[in-house]
Amino acid sequence: MAKDSARPLRADARRNRDQILAAAKRVFGARGPDVPMEEIARQAGVGIGTLYRRFPDRASLVLAVAHDSFAKVLAEARAAVTEERSAWDALVRVVRTSRELQLSVHLTILSPPVSPAALADPEVAWLQRELLVLLDALVLSAQREGTLRPDVGSGDVAALLSLLLRPLGAPPGITSWQMSERAMSLLLDSLRTPSNLTLPGEPMTLEDLNPGLTDGA
């Protein structure tokens, strides 16, 4: 994993940084990554100078939000593996942590001004690999326990999940998150055994989905 080369922050500096990240998540999640930095500073309760001392430009702030979100999803996924009674329950819990992951994917991969740097970032790559390795282990475990249909691969599950990580256009009276939750429930139901659906082709692996993505895992 990429190491943070900065010196450990004082308690007040750490608090400011955490407040800025929390505010940026709220604002980016609601309005996208182009919100004025002054608005983020205002919502964080810090001065604009404090924000720029911690994050010298928008790209560095966006990437920090993505790192934090990916790291929290990974921590939650690891907790699910140890705390849930079955691999299926752990897989469901991991899938349902996708709100944080949705923000990370939107900011780092789907945001044109940021995506090239994000995709080349070592920490983003490491976090992605760790999540995929964990997902692969969960898929195999759930299949061994007989709760996940045997004719899918980890690549299939990752591909389905990636589709749901993109913002959905919602009709009036329905939020995009409500749509995503319904779609997520349908996805999980289609993966669980027993199922009478016959899938075309062969199960897709993570390597099929993106060759080299798990290298170095």
Q: For residue range 168-204, list pLDDT tens digits in order.
A: 665 555 555 667 777 788 888 889 988 777 877 888 8
Q: Which domains does the chain have, with CATH numbers?
A: 9-56 (1.10.10.60), 62-209 (1.10.357.10)
What's the CA gap between 75 and 78, in Å, rounded?
5
211 is written with which tokens?
């060759």
- Rounded to an integer, the average pLDDT of 131-136 is 92
Per-residue confidence (pLDDT) for residue 113, from 0 to 100: 57
Q: Which residues neighbour 130 within 8 Å (Cβ) at sequence distance 6 or greater?
A: 74, 217
Structure tokens at 30: 């609601």
Using a cut of 0.85, tell me whether the model's pTM lies above it: no
Task: Check if the beta carbon of residue 61 is closer than 8 Å to that of residue 55.
Answer: yes
What pLDDT was estimated at residue 2? 43
